[in-house]
Amino acid sequence: MAFIDQIKARAKADKKTIVLPESMDKRTYAAAEQILKEGIANLIIIGTPDEIKKNSEGYDLTGCKFVDPFTDPNRQKYIDKFVELRAKKGMTPEAAEEQMTKDYMYYACLMCKCGDADGAVSGACHSTGNTIRPALQLLKCKPGISSVSGFFFMEVPDCEFGDNGKFVFADCAVNTDFDSAKLAEIAYLSAESFEMLTGDKAKVAMLSYSSKGSAKHDDVTKVADAVEIAHKNHPEIELDGELQLDAALVPSVGAAKAPGSTVAGHANTLVFPSLEAGNIGYKLVQRLAKADAYGPVLQGLSMPVNDLSRGCFAEDIVGVVAITAVQSQQNK
């Protein structure tokens, strides 16, 4: 069974309520039709009657709940919660109301915060920043976590590496500045994510252009220091580095470049040293190896909120909604 089919089955077994705030995009409705037909999640779509009528024509959305942010009976509850959460930033009821109705992602996050939904998915027609900003302001990070990061779950066909072709690649979408502490935190969260999604043990490789000191540079030292921090803070994780990509994936190369390592040659969770490397890396694998790339999935938030590529298809939205539902099951 393919990875995403396993995730869908898990989502169906304990259905969660996921909010889709992009009522202005037809892909939302195509995805919603499939999600509802397969019973993957309960859905809420935020939008005015005109927006929904204009974009949903031709789709069977039986069972979907539609929320008009201008007439919703819960509107005042969300305004009050918004003001409460952002009072120190000078938030007023008037400003809260304007923000909620101008940007439906704020409305979606408030629904999650107030317990009326279990997660949200956005990004088909909004930037990653516009998806993450409301989540950070209203839902915030998990206790003990300093920042949000993003990963792609990669499933590579006919692949002998990783976990039968399954990998987590991080961070490919969120952080532009990595220091050693942040890299270590990303490694911990990525290991958690891999194990939550697959049920298998994560083997985390901290990637570099150097393997075990074969090159000397501040960029190499940053990764080596991250490995030390991760080992100290999370000794339960099977993690090694710094490793070149071939040393991380290919057993014979791993044995030559990092003898004695239980990760080298067997990694399934790849932590890239920069956003550029991560973003380029996942797209290379997606396009050249014809891999399925699900994400960017966000990790570190107190509730699951996930992003989409603006070039996504409806089927991609279905997959990310299923992943969000499974994250929510774990969150509970």
Q: Is a pLDDT exceeding 90 seen at residue 192?
A: yes
pLDDT tens digit sequence for 264-285: 999 999 999 999 999 999 999 9
Structure tokens at 199: 């049920």
List % helix, strand, coil for the chain (3-state, nearest 5).
45, 15, 35
pLDDT tens digit sequence for 116-166: 999 999 988 887 778 889 998 999 899 989 889 999 999 999 999 999 999
For residue 211, give the amino acid letter. Answer: S
Q: Is a pLDDT exceeding 70 seen at residue 327?
A: yes
Long-range CB contacts for residues 65-71, cutoff 8 Å, separation at least 24: 67/107, 67/111, 69/100, 69/101, 69/104, 69/107, 70/101
pLDDT score for 332: 60
pLDDT score for 14: 95
pLDDT score for 2: 82
Q: Is a pLDDT exceeding 80 seen at residue 260?
A: yes
DSSP for residue 48: -
Tell me if 86 sits within 8 A of 282, measured CB to CB.
Answer: no
**The whole model's pTM is what?**
0.89
Q: Is a pLDDT exceeding 90 seen at residue 230?
A: yes
**How far is residue 12's CA from residue 47's CA, in Å, rounded to a whole number?**
26
Averaged pLDDT score across all residues of the chain: 93
The Cα-based distances of 159 to 73, 114, 156, 193, 289 in angstroms read: 51, 43, 6, 21, 9
Q: Is a pLDDT exceeding 90 seen at residue 62?
A: yes
Distance of CA 105 to the CA centre of its chain: 16
The Cα-based distances of 80 to 7, 134, 220, 305 in angstroms read: 36, 16, 48, 21
